[in-house]
Amino acid sequence: MPSLATSAIICAVRQHGEYGAIARLLTPGHGLLPGYVRGGRSRAARPVLLPGNVVMAEFRARTDDQLAGLTVELAHSRAPLHGEPLPAAAIEWSCALTAVALSEGTPHPALHQALSGLLDAVEAAPAARGWAAALVRYEMLLLAEMGFGLDLTRCAATGEAVDLAFVSPRSAAAVSRAGALGYESRLLPLPPFLLEGGMGDWDQIIDGLRLTGFFLERSILTDRRADVLAGRERLVQRLKRAVA
């Protein structure tokens, strides 16, 4: 990728040296890409290099192995949401998850579209009722894109596709009420909205976050990513307080 100009979502930024920053951006056609922003710690650059912002990005590198130089122009700012605890936690978590989970340079157009839609939903309804279910679905999609998708098509025990109410933590497959009889406490609840569509009530959303969180932690967010998991826990606790 010697040169590339594209729109992108800022997912993560870290300081590099005294004045610069390394940003990781999710692009529609090239997946997650890193770049060095000269002056990225400046007063002018900081409001642009915020997770969730949409930018027009230009990457320039001499070779494919070199970290590209990156210039960005703000296309859409979500900076005001970073001052509100609940939407800020949602933006920071979804972007951090994306930056940690994806390998660089692998296209994930469905994830880009889904993350963009999720961030739009957070912006449209900061109180969470309009985006909490979308967050669960985004985590489900990311698991599937990473090769750890859940099989919710039929019961792992009976083979039937009716009355699915649980997920096996071992196989990541759905289990019906009949198939789960006597083993319910060992299984994860499967919220109906993941099968039927719709928004789901708050109990279902919390069950959905518990479900996706289990598989994210087991399969993607391993030991070296404890700080990212802490961000997710902050979000979940804020959601629980918001609906209490």
Residue 16, pLDDT score? 86
Domain count, the chain: 2
| Domain limit, last residue, from 12, 46, 77 | 77
68 in the same domain as 113: no
Residue 1, pLDDT score? 60
Name the pairing type of β-strands 54-60 and 31-37: unpaired
Residue indicated by tokens 């449209």? 124
Written in H, E and C, the secondary structure of 150-217 is CECCCCCCCCCCCCEEEECCCCCEEEEHHHHCCCHHHCEECCCHHHHCCCCCHHHHHHHHHHHHHHHH
Domain-located, residue 175:
no
118 in the same domain as 56: no
The whole-model pTM stands at: 0.94
**pLDDT tens readout for residues 102-128:** 999 999 999 999 999 999 999 998 778
Residue 175, pLDDT score? 98
67 in the same domain as 91: no
| Domain limit, last residue, from 42, 77, 112 | 77
146 in the same domain as 88: yes
Domain-located, residue 180:
no
207 in the same domain as 96: yes
Residue 204, pLDDT score? 95
Examine the pLDDT at 143 and tell me if it is beyond 90.
Answer: yes
214 in the same domain as 128: yes
Residue 27, pLDDT score? 98
**pLDDT tens readout for residues 190-208:** 999 999 998 889 999 999 9
